[in-house]
Amino acid sequence: MKTLHLLRHAKSSWNEPWASDRERGLNKRGRRDAPRMGRALAAELAPMPVFASPARRAQLTLAGVCDGWPAMAGLVHETVEALYTFSADEVFELLMDCDDARESVFLIGHNPAFTELINTLDSGAALDNLPTAAYARLVLSIPQWRQLAPGCGRLDRLLLPRELNGALLRRM
């Protein structure tokens, strides 16, 4: 069994219209939600290394998560160029190349790639949209990452930033 953790980057800013898509930062809500998600995830997960998109908004999301989850800040995280994608197929290929010694993989990236990936791996998920700063955990019924295939997973956990004011958990 493998576990996939997905965190969509927090809400990005459009205040710098001259900035390229890759260079957009976070807006006020994004800067608020990333540490809140870090605190919420710290309450239920062991810290683990993260693979993050090189996009500035993804990197700032990782920094915010680490602010809210100090145990994550001490780990070595990796920026992965291939995660600057909006294609589920490209993320799928990246996952298939993961080291089988990793039981869990944590990615910070983009939509529509993550929503499509969730719906591909769990054909019963029917998720319309993974919102900004939302977290999804999929339990995959595979012993090796190269065996990743449509329908091999189950969406086990979905945590949305808007839920953090009330109940922290939305169980599937």
Q: How does pLDDT run across 102-143, given as a tens digit for each residue?
A: 999 999 999 999 999 999 999 888 899 999 999 999 999 999
pTM above 0.75, yes or no: yes
What per-residue confidence (pLDDT) applies to 170?
A: 42
What per-residue confidence (pLDDT) applies to 14?
A: 78
| Nearest CA among 47, 40, 25, 86 for reference residue 10 | 25
What per-residue confidence (pLDDT) applies to 169?
A: 42
What per-residue confidence (pLDDT) applies to 13?
A: 86
Enter the tokens of residue 113: 């790639």
| DSSP per-residue string spanning 91-111 | HHHHHHTS-TT-SEEEEEE-T
- Cβ–Cβ < 8 Å for 4, 108: no
What per-residue confidence (pLDDT) applies to 167?
A: 43
What per-residue confidence (pLDDT) applies to 172?
A: 38
Q: Which parts of the chain sit beneath pLDDT 70? A: 165-172
What per-residue confidence (pLDDT) applies to 165?
A: 66
Burial category of 134 from C-beta neighbours within 10 Å (exposed 0-12, middle 13-18, buried 19 and up)? buried
Enter the tokens of residue 37: 């998600």
